[in-house]
């Protein structure tokens, strides 16, 4: 299941492919998806794709993708791969974790 823009536009910046691993439609999973969409629209508008992977439907993917907790966000592109665990409610932590912004940029 995908959310967000279907096309990734090139141009001004890199294309971002993000995978959100969840376990069903729990409150925490829904909150993580909502927070992720908000952050992406504010900081990566038109340059991202979100893929939601429900481990309750495909539990074998957890081991194959080394997911140890849910929700977990994985940045597939641009490299390197980065992972963030939790509901993504701390926007600054998510931006630094995804390497959208550096810690120095946030403290200015």
pLDDT, one tens digit per residue, over 12-39 is 468 999 999 999 999 999 999 999 999 9
The Cα–Cα gap between 65 and 59 comes to: 10
Question: Looking at residue 9, what is its pLDDT?
Answer: 35
Question: Looking at residue 105, what is its pLDDT?
Answer: 59
Segments of the chain with pLDDT less than 70? 1-13, 102-108
Residue 57 phi/psi, 5° resolution? -95, -30
Among candidate residues 1, 93, 94, 90, the one with its CA nearest the CA of residue 40: 94
Question: Looking at residue 103, what is its pLDDT?
Answer: 61
Question: Looking at residue 108, what is its pLDDT?
Answer: 56
């Amino acid at each position: 299941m995908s959310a967000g823009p279907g096309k990734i536009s090139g141009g001004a910046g890199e294309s971002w492919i993000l995978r959100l691993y969840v376990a069903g439609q729990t409150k925490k999973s829904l909150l993580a998806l909502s927070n992720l969409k908000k952050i992406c629209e504010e900081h990566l508008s038109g340059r991202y794709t979100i893929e939601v992977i429900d481990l309750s439907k495909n539990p074998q993917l957890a081991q194959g993708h080394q997911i140890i907790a849910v929700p977990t966000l994985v940045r597939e592109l641009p490299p390197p791969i980065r992972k963030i665990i939790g509901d993504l409610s701390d926007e600054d932590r998510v931006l630094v974790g995804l390497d959208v912004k550096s810690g120095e940029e946030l403290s200015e």
